[in-house]
Structure 1
Protein backbone atom coordinates (compact mmCIF):
# COMPACT_ATOMS: atom_id res chain seq x y z
CA UNK A 1 0.00 0.00 0.00
CA UNK A 2 1.25 3.45 -0.88
CA UNK A 3 2.30 5.82 1.89
CA UNK A 4 -0.37 8.49 2.57
CA UNK A 5 2.27 11.20 1.98
CA UNK A 6 4.09 10.87 -1.36
CA UNK A 7 7.45 12.44 -2.15
CA UNK A 8 8.24 14.01 -5.51
CA UNK A 9 11.55 15.61 -6.46
CA UNK A 10 13.40 16.38 -9.69
CA UNK A 11 16.23 14.73 -11.57
CA UNK A 12 18.89 17.04 -10.13
CA UNK A 13 18.61 15.29 -6.75
CA UNK A 14 20.80 12.49 -8.16
CA UNK A 15 19.45 9.98 -5.69
CA UNK A 16 20.67 6.40 -6.10
CA UNK A 17 18.05 4.32 -7.92
CA UNK A 18 17.87 1.88 -5.02
CA UNK A 19 17.06 4.66 -2.56
CA UNK A 20 14.32 6.04 -4.81
CA UNK A 21 12.73 2.61 -5.16
CA UNK A 22 13.05 1.80 -1.46
CA UNK A 23 11.32 5.02 -0.45
CA UNK A 24 8.96 5.28 -3.45
CA UNK A 25 10.30 8.72 -4.43
CA UNK A 26 9.22 10.06 -7.83
CA UNK A 27 11.69 12.10 -9.91
CA UNK A 28 10.54 14.51 -12.62
CA UNK A 29 13.32 15.05 -15.20
CA UNK A 30 14.79 18.32 -16.36
CA UNK A 31 15.90 18.62 -19.97
CA UNK A 32 19.30 19.15 -21.57
CA UNK A 33 19.30 20.85 -24.96
CA UNK A 34 22.30 19.67 -26.96
CA UNK A 35 22.47 21.64 -30.18
CA UNK A 36 18.91 21.37 -31.49
CA UNK A 37 18.10 18.16 -29.62
CA UNK A 38 16.15 18.18 -26.32
CA UNK A 39 16.99 15.19 -24.08
CA UNK A 40 15.60 14.15 -20.70
CA UNK A 41 18.17 13.99 -17.94
CA UNK A 42 18.79 10.49 -16.64
CA UNK A 43 17.11 8.60 -19.46
CA UNK A 44 18.07 10.18 -22.78
CA UNK A 45 21.49 11.72 -22.04
CA UNK A 46 24.27 10.46 -19.77
CA UNK A 47 26.77 12.53 -17.85
CA UNK A 48 29.53 11.00 -19.98
CA UNK A 49 27.88 12.08 -23.23
CA UNK A 50 27.43 15.54 -21.78
CA UNK A 51 31.08 15.77 -20.76
CA UNK A 52 32.18 14.83 -24.28
CA UNK A 53 29.87 17.46 -25.78
CA UNK A 54 31.28 20.13 -23.47
CA UNK A 55 34.85 19.17 -24.31
CA UNK A 56 33.98 19.57 -28.01
CA UNK A 57 32.44 22.96 -27.18
CA UNK A 58 29.03 22.00 -28.49
CA UNK A 59 26.27 24.42 -27.37
CA UNK A 60 24.50 23.06 -24.29
CA UNK A 61 21.59 24.58 -22.38
CA UNK A 62 19.11 23.23 -19.85
CA UNK A 63 15.39 23.70 -19.28
CA UNK A 64 12.87 23.01 -16.54
CA UNK A 65 10.08 20.42 -16.63
CA UNK A 66 6.69 21.74 -17.75
CA UNK A 67 3.83 22.18 -15.27
CA UNK A 68 2.12 19.26 -17.05
CA UNK A 69 5.10 17.03 -16.27
CA UNK A 70 4.52 17.71 -12.58
CA UNK A 71 0.75 17.42 -12.95
CA UNK A 72 1.18 13.87 -14.29
CA UNK A 73 3.43 12.95 -11.37
CA UNK A 74 0.93 14.35 -8.86
CA UNK A 75 -2.00 12.54 -10.48
CA UNK A 76 -0.08 9.28 -10.49
CA UNK A 77 0.76 9.63 -6.79
CA UNK A 78 -2.88 10.32 -5.96
CA UNK A 79 -3.97 7.29 -7.99
CA UNK A 80 -1.58 5.15 -5.94
CA UNK A 81 -3.34 6.27 -2.77
CA UNK A 82 -1.43 9.36 -1.63
CA UNK A 83 -3.54 11.82 0.30
CA UNK A 84 -0.88 14.52 0.20
CA UNK A 85 2.36 15.22 -1.68
CA UNK A 86 5.63 16.92 -0.73
CA UNK A 87 7.34 18.21 -3.87
CA UNK A 88 10.99 19.15 -3.21
CA UNK A 89 13.14 20.94 -5.77
CA UNK A 90 16.45 22.49 -6.60
CA UNK A 91 17.06 26.12 -5.76
CA UNK A 92 14.75 28.54 -7.56
CA UNK A 93 17.89 30.65 -8.13
CA UNK A 94 19.08 28.00 -10.59
CA UNK A 95 15.93 26.98 -12.42
CA UNK A 96 12.23 27.59 -12.98
CA UNK A 97 11.51 24.04 -11.81
CA UNK A 98 10.03 25.22 -8.50
CA UNK A 99 7.66 27.60 -10.33
CA UNK A 100 6.50 24.83 -12.69
CA UNK A 101 5.80 22.54 -9.75
CA UNK A 102 3.90 25.29 -7.94
CA UNK A 103 1.68 25.92 -10.96
CA UNK A 104 0.88 22.21 -11.25
CA UNK A 105 0.13 21.97 -7.53
CA UNK A 106 -2.74 24.44 -7.87
CA UNK A 107 -4.69 21.89 -9.95
CA UNK A 108 -3.57 18.69 -8.21
CA UNK A 109 -6.24 16.25 -6.94
CA UNK A 110 -4.67 16.17 -3.44
CA UNK A 111 -2.84 18.82 -1.37
CA UNK A 112 0.71 19.45 -2.59
CA UNK A 113 3.37 21.30 -0.62
CA UNK A 114 6.01 22.60 -3.03
CA UNK A 115 9.35 23.40 -1.37
CA UNK A 116 12.28 25.37 -2.74
CA UNK A 117 15.03 23.61 -0.79
CA UNK A 118 17.72 26.03 -1.95
CA UNK A 119 19.77 22.90 -2.65
CA UNK A 120 20.88 20.76 -5.59
CA UNK A 121 22.39 17.31 -6.18
CA UNK A 122 22.48 15.10 -3.07
CA UNK A 123 21.95 18.18 -0.92
CA UNK A 124 18.47 18.03 -2.45
CA UNK A 125 18.48 14.24 -2.36
CA UNK A 126 19.07 14.13 1.39
CA UNK A 127 16.09 16.47 1.86
CA UNK A 128 13.90 14.10 -0.16
CA UNK A 129 15.09 11.13 1.90
CA UNK A 130 14.35 12.96 5.15
CA UNK A 131 10.81 13.75 3.98
CA UNK A 132 10.28 10.15 2.86
CA UNK A 133 11.51 8.73 6.15
CA UNK A 134 9.19 11.06 8.06
CA UNK A 135 6.23 9.98 5.93
CA UNK A 136 7.10 6.30 6.35
CA UNK A 137 7.13 6.77 10.13
CA UNK A 138 3.56 8.06 9.98
CA UNK A 139 4.36 11.75 9.74
CA UNK A 140 1.84 14.21 8.38
CA UNK A 141 2.32 16.38 5.32
CA UNK A 142 3.54 19.25 7.50
CA UNK A 143 5.91 16.97 9.42
CA UNK A 144 7.45 15.62 6.21
CA UNK A 145 8.00 19.19 4.96
CA UNK A 146 9.55 20.15 8.31
CA UNK A 147 11.91 17.16 8.16
CA UNK A 148 13.12 18.22 4.71
CA UNK A 149 13.52 21.86 5.73
CA UNK A 150 15.45 20.86 8.86
CA UNK A 151 17.87 18.87 6.72
CA UNK A 152 18.25 21.75 4.26
CA UNK A 153 19.01 24.25 7.04
CA UNK A 154 21.88 22.11 8.36
CA UNK A 155 23.33 21.16 4.96
CA UNK A 156 26.75 22.13 3.65
CA UNK A 157 27.87 21.73 0.04
CA UNK A 158 31.37 22.56 -1.16
CA UNK A 159 32.75 22.03 -4.63
CA UNK A 160 35.75 22.39 -6.84
CA UNK A 161 35.72 23.10 -10.58
CA UNK A 162 38.63 23.01 -12.99
CA UNK A 163 37.43 26.25 -14.58
CA UNK A 164 34.79 28.88 -13.90
CA UNK A 165 34.01 29.14 -17.61
CA UNK A 166 30.99 26.81 -17.59
CA UNK A 167 29.44 28.60 -14.62
CA UNK A 168 29.98 31.88 -16.44
CA UNK A 169 28.34 30.59 -19.63
CA UNK A 170 25.29 29.47 -17.67
CA UNK A 171 24.99 32.81 -15.87
CA UNK A 172 25.74 31.28 -12.46
CA UNK A 173 28.66 33.62 -11.77
CA UNK A 174 29.67 36.97 -13.24
CA UNK A 175 32.04 37.37 -16.18
CA UNK A 176 34.44 39.47 -14.08
CA UNK A 177 34.76 36.77 -11.45
CA UNK A 178 35.39 34.09 -14.10
CA UNK A 179 37.98 36.28 -15.85
CA UNK A 180 39.78 36.98 -12.57
CA UNK A 181 40.01 33.27 -11.82
CA UNK A 182 41.48 32.55 -15.25
CA UNK A 183 43.90 35.46 -15.12
CA UNK A 184 45.29 34.44 -11.74
CA UNK A 185 45.39 30.74 -12.69
CA UNK A 186 43.66 29.85 -9.41
CA UNK A 187 41.59 26.79 -8.68
CA UNK A 188 38.35 27.99 -7.10
CA UNK A 189 36.52 26.38 -4.22
CA UNK A 190 32.83 27.30 -4.17
CA UNK A 191 29.92 26.76 -1.82
CA UNK A 192 26.17 26.57 -2.00
CA UNK A 193 24.72 29.18 0.32
CA UNK A 194 21.34 30.88 0.36
CA UNK A 195 20.35 28.94 -2.74
CA UNK A 196 23.23 30.44 -4.71
CA UNK A 197 26.75 29.48 -5.74
CA UNK A 198 29.34 31.68 -4.11
CA UNK A 199 33.14 31.81 -3.84
CA UNK A 200 34.69 30.21 -0.80
CA UNK A 201 38.44 30.11 -1.27
CA UNK A 202 41.05 30.36 -4.02
CA UNK A 203 43.80 27.76 -4.15
CA UNK A 204 46.80 27.65 -6.46
CA UNK A 205 46.74 24.01 -7.59
CA UNK A 206 44.15 21.31 -8.15
CA UNK A 207 45.77 18.97 -5.62
CA UNK A 208 45.73 21.65 -2.91
CA UNK A 209 42.12 22.52 -3.75
CA UNK A 210 41.01 18.90 -3.39
CA UNK A 211 42.93 18.52 -0.12
CA UNK A 212 41.19 21.64 1.14
CA UNK A 213 37.82 20.25 0.03
CA UNK A 214 38.51 17.22 2.23
CA UNK A 215 39.42 19.41 5.21
CA UNK A 216 36.26 21.49 4.83
CA UNK A 217 34.10 18.36 4.81
CA UNK A 218 35.83 16.91 7.88
CA UNK A 219 35.55 20.20 9.76
CA UNK A 220 31.87 20.56 8.89
CA UNK A 221 31.06 16.99 9.89
CA UNK A 222 32.76 17.20 13.27
CA UNK A 223 31.75 14.33 15.54
CA UNK A 224 28.04 14.44 14.69
CA UNK A 225 26.12 11.70 12.87
CA UNK A 226 26.22 12.75 9.23
CA UNK A 227 25.45 11.51 5.75
CA UNK A 228 27.95 12.48 3.06
CA UNK A 229 27.84 12.51 -0.73
CA UNK A 230 30.78 12.88 -3.09
CA UNK A 231 29.92 13.95 -6.63
CA UNK A 232 32.06 14.28 -9.73
CA UNK A 233 31.86 14.77 -13.48
CA UNK A 234 34.29 12.72 -15.57
CA UNK A 235 36.63 12.33 -12.56
CA UNK A 236 35.78 8.95 -10.96
CA UNK A 237 39.24 8.15 -9.57
CA UNK A 238 39.50 11.57 -7.96
CA UNK A 239 36.05 11.13 -6.39
CA UNK A 240 36.80 7.65 -5.06
CA UNK A 241 40.04 8.79 -3.44
CA UNK A 242 38.22 11.61 -1.70
CA UNK A 243 35.40 9.30 -0.61
CA UNK A 244 37.88 6.83 0.88
CA UNK A 245 39.63 9.59 2.83
CA UNK A 246 36.28 10.75 4.24
CA UNK A 247 35.39 7.19 5.27
CA UNK A 248 38.61 7.15 7.28
CA UNK A 249 38.32 10.63 8.76
CA UNK A 250 34.64 11.30 9.53
CA UNK A 251 33.88 9.58 12.87
CA UNK A 252 30.10 9.95 12.74
CA UNK A 253 29.65 8.87 9.13
CA UNK A 254 26.34 7.02 8.67
CA UNK A 255 25.99 6.79 4.88
CA UNK A 256 28.29 7.83 2.07
CA UNK A 257 27.16 8.05 -1.54
CA UNK A 258 29.59 8.50 -4.43
CA UNK A 259 28.17 9.31 -7.84
CA UNK A 260 28.60 11.22 -11.06
CA UNK A 261 26.34 14.25 -11.40
CA UNK A 262 23.80 14.24 -14.19
CA UNK A 263 23.85 16.24 -17.36
CA UNK A 264 21.93 19.28 -16.05
CA UNK A 265 24.39 20.16 -13.29
CA UNK A 266 27.32 18.97 -15.38
CA UNK A 267 26.39 21.44 -18.10
CA UNK A 268 26.99 24.29 -15.67
CA UNK A 269 30.13 23.00 -13.93
CA UNK A 270 32.08 21.21 -16.67
CA UNK A 271 34.27 18.10 -16.52
CA UNK A 272 36.54 17.82 -13.49
CA UNK A 273 33.88 18.82 -10.97
CA UNK A 274 34.38 17.43 -7.47
CA UNK A 275 31.80 18.17 -4.78
CA UNK A 276 31.09 17.16 -1.20
CA UNK A 277 27.74 17.39 0.57
CA UNK A 278 27.65 17.05 4.36
CA UNK A 279 24.21 16.46 5.85
CA UNK A 280 23.88 16.23 9.65
CA UNK A 281 21.10 13.89 10.76
Structure 2
Protein backbone atom coordinates (compact mmCIF):
# COMPACT_ATOMS: atom_id res chain seq x y z
CA UNK A 1 0.00 0.00 0.00
CA UNK A 2 1.42 3.38 -1.01
CA UNK A 3 2.18 5.95 1.68
CA UNK A 4 -0.34 8.81 1.83
CA UNK A 5 1.19 12.28 2.08
CA UNK A 6 -0.58 14.92 4.12
CA UNK A 7 0.24 18.63 4.38
CA UNK A 8 -1.46 21.89 5.33
CA UNK A 9 -2.36 24.99 3.36
CA UNK A 10 0.86 26.81 4.31
CA UNK A 11 2.59 24.67 1.66
CA UNK A 12 1.09 27.03 -0.97
CA UNK A 13 0.55 24.14 -3.38
CA UNK A 14 -2.32 24.68 -5.79
CA UNK A 15 -5.37 22.44 -5.84
CA UNK A 16 -4.21 21.10 -9.21
CA UNK A 17 -0.77 20.14 -7.85
CA UNK A 18 -2.25 18.49 -4.77
CA UNK A 19 -4.65 16.44 -6.89
CA UNK A 20 -1.96 15.42 -9.39
CA UNK A 21 0.22 14.10 -6.55
CA UNK A 22 -2.66 12.61 -4.50
CA UNK A 23 -1.75 14.79 -1.52
CA UNK A 24 -4.38 15.65 1.09
CA UNK A 25 -4.17 19.14 2.63
CA UNK A 26 -5.82 20.51 5.77
CA UNK A 27 -6.49 24.27 5.99
CA UNK A 28 -5.18 26.91 8.33
CA UNK A 29 -7.72 29.63 9.10
CA UNK A 30 -7.83 33.30 8.22
CA UNK A 31 -9.92 35.96 9.94
CA UNK A 32 -10.52 39.24 8.11
CA UNK A 33 -13.22 41.89 8.43
CA UNK A 34 -14.68 39.95 11.35
CA UNK A 35 -15.20 36.72 9.36
CA UNK A 36 -13.25 33.47 9.70
CA UNK A 37 -12.39 31.46 6.58
CA UNK A 38 -10.57 28.24 5.69
CA UNK A 39 -7.40 29.07 3.77
CA UNK A 40 -7.84 28.17 0.11
CA UNK A 41 -11.29 26.66 0.63
CA UNK A 42 -13.73 29.36 1.65
CA UNK A 43 -11.55 32.31 0.68
CA UNK A 44 -8.97 32.63 -2.09
CA UNK A 45 -5.57 34.30 -1.78
CA UNK A 46 -6.65 36.86 -4.40
CA UNK A 47 -9.56 37.88 -2.18
CA UNK A 48 -7.27 38.24 0.83
CA UNK A 49 -4.77 40.37 -1.09
CA UNK A 50 -7.55 42.61 -2.37
CA UNK A 51 -8.86 43.12 1.16
CA UNK A 52 -5.32 43.91 2.36
CA UNK A 53 -4.83 46.50 -0.37
CA UNK A 54 -8.04 48.11 0.85
CA UNK A 55 -6.79 48.29 4.44
CA UNK A 56 -7.87 44.90 5.75
CA UNK A 57 -5.66 43.34 8.44
CA UNK A 58 -6.05 39.55 8.38
CA UNK A 59 -5.19 37.31 11.30
CA UNK A 60 -4.32 33.66 10.92
CA UNK A 61 -4.79 30.64 13.16
CA UNK A 62 -3.58 27.07 13.07
CA UNK A 63 -5.30 24.00 11.72
CA UNK A 64 -8.03 22.98 14.14
CA UNK A 65 -7.59 19.89 16.35
CA UNK A 66 -10.87 18.59 14.95
CA UNK A 67 -9.53 18.68 11.37
CA UNK A 68 -6.49 16.65 12.44
CA UNK A 69 -8.60 14.26 14.50
CA UNK A 70 -10.94 13.52 11.61
CA UNK A 71 -8.16 13.16 9.04
CA UNK A 72 -5.78 11.06 11.13
CA UNK A 73 -8.60 8.80 12.34
CA UNK A 74 -9.91 8.22 8.81
CA UNK A 75 -6.49 6.99 7.69
CA UNK A 76 -5.95 4.91 10.86
CA UNK A 77 -9.32 3.16 10.47
CA UNK A 78 -8.33 2.07 6.95
CA UNK A 79 -4.83 0.97 8.05
CA UNK A 80 -3.49 3.58 5.60
CA UNK A 81 0.13 4.55 6.38
CA UNK A 82 0.69 8.30 6.09
CA UNK A 83 3.18 11.05 6.84
CA UNK A 84 2.06 14.55 7.72
CA UNK A 85 4.72 17.07 6.74
CA UNK A 86 3.90 20.18 8.79
CA UNK A 87 4.37 23.93 8.48
CA UNK A 88 7.33 25.22 10.54
CA UNK A 89 6.68 24.96 14.27
CA UNK A 90 8.42 28.34 14.72
CA UNK A 91 5.74 30.10 12.67
CA UNK A 92 2.57 28.30 13.77
CA UNK A 93 1.18 26.09 16.53
CA UNK A 94 -0.10 23.68 13.86
CA UNK A 95 2.73 21.17 14.33
CA UNK A 96 2.26 21.05 18.12
CA UNK A 97 -1.49 20.48 17.70
CA UNK A 98 -0.82 17.68 15.22
CA UNK A 99 1.60 16.03 17.67
CA UNK A 100 -1.05 16.14 20.38
CA UNK A 101 -3.63 14.53 18.08
CA UNK A 102 -1.04 11.98 16.92
CA UNK A 103 -0.75 10.65 20.47
CA UNK A 104 -4.52 10.47 20.90
CA UNK A 105 -5.03 8.60 17.63
CA UNK A 106 -2.16 6.17 18.28
CA UNK A 107 -3.59 5.43 21.73
CA UNK A 108 -6.88 4.52 20.07
CA UNK A 109 -5.30 2.73 17.08
CA UNK A 110 -2.04 1.16 18.35
CA UNK A 111 -1.23 -0.38 14.97
CA UNK A 112 -1.62 2.87 13.03
CA UNK A 113 1.51 3.77 11.11
CA UNK A 114 2.12 7.47 10.67
CA UNK A 115 4.48 10.28 11.58
CA UNK A 116 4.18 14.03 12.07
CA UNK A 117 7.24 15.87 10.74
CA UNK A 118 8.23 19.49 11.41
CA UNK A 119 9.62 20.65 8.07
CA UNK A 120 10.87 23.97 9.54
CA UNK A 121 9.77 25.30 6.15
CA UNK A 122 7.07 27.56 4.73
CA UNK A 123 5.33 28.43 1.47
CA UNK A 124 6.77 26.61 -1.54
CA UNK A 125 9.91 25.68 0.41
CA UNK A 126 7.53 23.50 2.36
CA UNK A 127 5.66 22.71 -0.85
CA UNK A 128 8.79 21.34 -2.53
CA UNK A 129 9.31 18.97 0.41
CA UNK A 130 5.75 17.71 0.04
CA UNK A 131 6.01 17.35 -3.73
CA UNK A 132 9.17 15.25 -3.60
CA UNK A 133 7.84 12.96 -0.86
CA UNK A 134 4.56 12.54 -2.74
CA UNK A 135 6.37 11.64 -5.97
CA UNK A 136 8.31 8.91 -4.19
CA UNK A 137 5.12 7.64 -2.57
CA UNK A 138 3.37 7.45 -5.97
CA UNK A 139 6.34 5.49 -7.32
CA UNK A 140 5.69 2.87 -4.63
CA UNK A 141 8.68 3.66 -2.43
CA UNK A 142 8.80 2.18 1.06
CA UNK A 143 7.59 4.15 4.09
CA UNK A 144 11.19 4.54 5.23
CA UNK A 145 12.31 5.86 1.85
CA UNK A 146 9.47 8.39 1.62
CA UNK A 147 10.20 9.58 5.15
CA UNK A 148 13.93 9.89 4.40
CA UNK A 149 13.52 11.83 1.15
CA UNK A 150 11.04 14.22 2.77
CA UNK A 151 13.24 14.94 5.78
CA UNK A 152 16.31 15.35 3.53
CA UNK A 153 14.58 18.02 1.46
CA UNK A 154 13.26 19.74 4.59
CA UNK A 155 16.70 19.81 6.21
CA UNK A 156 18.41 21.30 3.14
CA UNK A 157 15.73 23.71 1.88
CA UNK A 158 16.76 27.36 1.48
CA UNK A 159 14.22 30.20 1.68
CA UNK A 160 15.15 33.61 0.25
CA UNK A 161 12.43 36.23 0.00
CA UNK A 162 11.61 39.91 -0.15
CA UNK A 163 8.46 41.91 0.51
CA UNK A 164 6.98 44.80 -1.42
CA UNK A 165 5.86 46.79 1.61
CA UNK A 166 7.40 46.59 5.09
CA UNK A 167 4.08 47.71 6.56
CA UNK A 168 2.73 44.17 6.41
CA UNK A 169 5.74 42.73 8.27
CA UNK A 170 5.25 45.47 10.86
CA UNK A 171 1.61 44.48 11.32
CA UNK A 172 2.73 40.90 11.86
CA UNK A 173 5.32 41.95 14.44
CA UNK A 174 8.33 41.12 12.22
CA UNK A 175 9.78 44.66 12.07
CA UNK A 176 9.38 47.81 14.15
CA UNK A 177 7.13 50.68 13.10
CA UNK A 178 10.18 52.93 12.67
CA UNK A 179 11.96 50.35 10.48
CA UNK A 180 8.85 49.98 8.34
CA UNK A 181 8.47 53.74 7.94
CA UNK A 182 12.13 54.44 7.19
CA UNK A 183 12.38 51.41 4.89
CA UNK A 184 9.39 52.51 2.86
CA UNK A 185 10.65 56.08 2.71
CA UNK A 186 14.07 55.01 1.43
CA UNK A 187 12.65 52.27 -0.82
CA UNK A 188 14.64 49.66 1.08
CA UNK A 189 13.87 46.07 0.16
CA UNK A 190 14.65 43.60 2.93
CA UNK A 191 16.07 40.22 1.99
CA UNK A 192 15.09 37.55 4.51
CA UNK A 193 15.67 33.83 4.91
CA UNK A 194 14.72 30.96 7.19
CA UNK A 195 17.03 29.60 9.85
CA UNK A 196 15.88 26.66 12.00
CA UNK A 197 12.33 27.47 10.97
CA UNK A 198 12.48 31.16 11.93
CA UNK A 199 12.36 34.25 9.72
CA UNK A 200 15.75 35.99 9.86
CA UNK A 201 16.75 39.29 8.14
CA UNK A 202 19.61 38.70 5.72
CA UNK A 203 20.34 42.00 3.99
CA UNK A 204 18.82 45.39 3.20
CA UNK A 205 18.86 46.40 -0.44
CA UNK A 206 17.92 49.74 -1.93
CA UNK A 207 15.68 49.43 -4.97
CA UNK A 208 13.61 46.59 -6.38
CA UNK A 209 15.84 46.08 -9.43
CA UNK A 210 18.83 45.24 -7.27
CA UNK A 211 16.98 42.84 -5.01
CA UNK A 212 16.30 40.22 -7.72
CA UNK A 213 19.93 40.34 -8.83
CA UNK A 214 21.01 39.75 -5.25
CA UNK A 215 18.53 36.87 -4.82
CA UNK A 216 20.07 35.15 -7.83
CA UNK A 217 23.57 35.73 -6.41
CA UNK A 218 22.61 34.31 -3.00
CA UNK A 219 21.16 31.30 -4.76
CA UNK A 220 24.54 30.67 -6.37
CA UNK A 221 26.35 31.13 -3.05
CA UNK A 222 24.12 28.69 -1.16
CA UNK A 223 22.77 26.23 -3.72
CA UNK A 224 24.31 23.00 -5.03
CA UNK A 225 23.91 21.63 -8.55
CA UNK A 226 21.20 24.19 -9.30
CA UNK A 227 20.84 23.09 -12.90
CA UNK A 228 19.68 19.64 -11.70
CA UNK A 229 17.18 20.86 -9.13
CA UNK A 230 13.50 21.65 -9.13
CA UNK A 231 13.30 25.08 -7.56
CA UNK A 232 10.25 27.14 -6.71
CA UNK A 233 9.16 30.77 -6.70
CA UNK A 234 6.05 31.89 -4.85
CA UNK A 235 4.49 35.31 -5.20
CA UNK A 236 1.98 37.54 -3.47
CA UNK A 237 -0.28 38.23 -6.46
CA UNK A 238 2.73 39.35 -8.52
CA UNK A 239 3.15 36.77 -11.29
CA UNK A 240 5.07 39.08 -13.66
CA UNK A 241 7.86 39.56 -11.11
CA UNK A 242 7.97 35.83 -10.35
CA UNK A 243 8.38 35.08 -14.06
CA UNK A 244 11.06 37.76 -14.36
CA UNK A 245 13.04 36.16 -11.52
CA UNK A 246 12.60 32.72 -13.12
CA UNK A 247 14.10 33.96 -16.39
CA UNK A 248 17.08 35.44 -14.55
CA UNK A 249 17.69 32.07 -12.85
CA UNK A 250 17.41 30.16 -16.13
CA UNK A 251 19.90 32.51 -17.75
CA UNK A 252 22.36 32.32 -14.85
CA UNK A 253 22.24 28.64 -13.87
CA UNK A 254 20.44 26.80 -16.67
CA UNK A 255 17.72 25.65 -14.28
CA UNK A 256 14.68 24.57 -16.31
CA UNK A 257 12.49 22.98 -13.62
CA UNK A 258 10.97 26.03 -11.91
CA UNK A 259 7.64 25.71 -10.11
CA UNK A 260 5.75 29.01 -9.72
CA UNK A 261 2.68 29.36 -7.51
CA UNK A 262 0.68 31.94 -5.61
CA UNK A 263 1.41 32.54 -1.92
CA UNK A 264 -1.66 31.36 -0.02
CA UNK A 265 -3.72 33.29 2.49
CA UNK A 266 -2.02 32.01 5.65
CA UNK A 267 1.45 33.16 4.52
CA UNK A 268 0.28 36.13 2.46
CA UNK A 269 -1.61 37.58 5.41
CA UNK A 270 1.75 38.34 7.04
CA UNK A 271 4.00 38.98 4.03
CA UNK A 272 1.51 41.02 2.00
CA UNK A 273 0.88 41.60 -1.70
CA UNK A 274 3.97 41.80 -3.90
CA UNK A 275 6.08 39.35 -1.90
CA UNK A 276 8.52 37.24 -3.92
CA UNK A 277 10.09 34.11 -2.43
CA UNK A 278 12.70 31.73 -3.84
CA UNK A 279 13.34 28.14 -2.72
CA UNK A 280 16.12 25.68 -3.54
CA UNK A 281 18.34 23.03 -1.95
CA UNK A 282 21.77 23.67 -0.45
CA UNK A 283 22.72 20.04 -1.15
CA UNK A 284 22.38 17.89 -4.30
CA UNK A 285 18.86 17.05 -5.42
CA UNK A 286 17.60 13.55 -4.59
TM-score, L = length of structure 1: 0.89
Paired residues for 1:10-159 under 5 Å: 10-79=8-77, 81-82=79-80, 84-108=81-105, 109=109, 110-159=112-161
Distance, in Å, in 2 between the alignment partners of 1:186 and 1:260 is 24
Q: Please list the CA deviations of residues 134-155 of structure 1 after superposition, one character each: whole Å capped at 9, or x if unmatched.
A: 4344444343222211111211
Measure the CA separation in 1 of the matches of 2:249 and 2:224: 12
Q: How do 1:113-262 residues align onto structure 2 when only pairs under 5 Å count?
A: 113-175=115-177, 177-178=179-180, 181-182=183-184, 184-224=186-226, 225-251=228-254, 253=255, 255-262=257-264
Report if aligned partners of 1:85, 1:113 keep a CA contact under 8 Å in 2.
Answer: yes
For residues 175 and 99 of structure 1, what CA distance do their matches in structure 2 show? 30
* 8 A Cα contact 1:221 1:250, kept in partner: no
| Equivalent residues of 2:13, 2:261 under 8 A apart | no
The answer as to whether partners of 1:105 and 1:111 remain within 8 angstroms in 2 is: no
8 Å Cα contact 1:222/1:250 also seen in 2: no
Contact 1:26 1:73 in 2 (8 A): no
Question: Residue 28 of structure 2 contacts residue 39 of structure 2 at CA under 8 Å; is this kept in 1?
Answer: yes
**TM-superposition CA deviations, 1:229-258 (whole Å, max 9, x none):** 11111211111111122233323x362111
Count of aligned pairs: 277
> How many Å apart are 1:80 and its aligned residue?
5.3
- Greater shift, 194-203 or 99-108, is seen at 99-108
Any idea what SS the aligned residue of 2:120 has? strand
Distance 2:8 2:256 in 1: 24
Verify the 8 A CA contact 2:235 2:277 in the aligned structure 1: yes
Contact 2:237–2:263 (8 Å) recurs in 1: no
Displacement of 1:17: 3.2
Cα pair 2:238 2:274 within 8 Å, conserved: yes
Question: Cα offset for 1:107?
Answer: 2.6
Q: What 5-or-longer segments of structure 1 have no aligned partner?
A: none
CA distance in 2, matches of 1:48, 1:133: 28
- Single out whichever of 126-135 and 227-236 deviates more from structure 2: 126-135
User: Which sections of structure 2, spanning at least 5 residues, go unmatched?
Assistant: none
Cα distance in 1 for residues equivalent to 2:118 and 2:128:
14
| Residues 175/94 of structure 1: CA separation in 2 closer, same or farther (3 Å cut) | farther
Deviation, structure 1 residue 167 = 1.8
Structure 1 pair 76/24, CA: closer, same or farther in 2 (3 Å)?
Answer: farther
Q: CA deviation at 1:111?
A: 2.9
Question: C-alpha displacement at 1:74, in angstroms?
Answer: 1.7
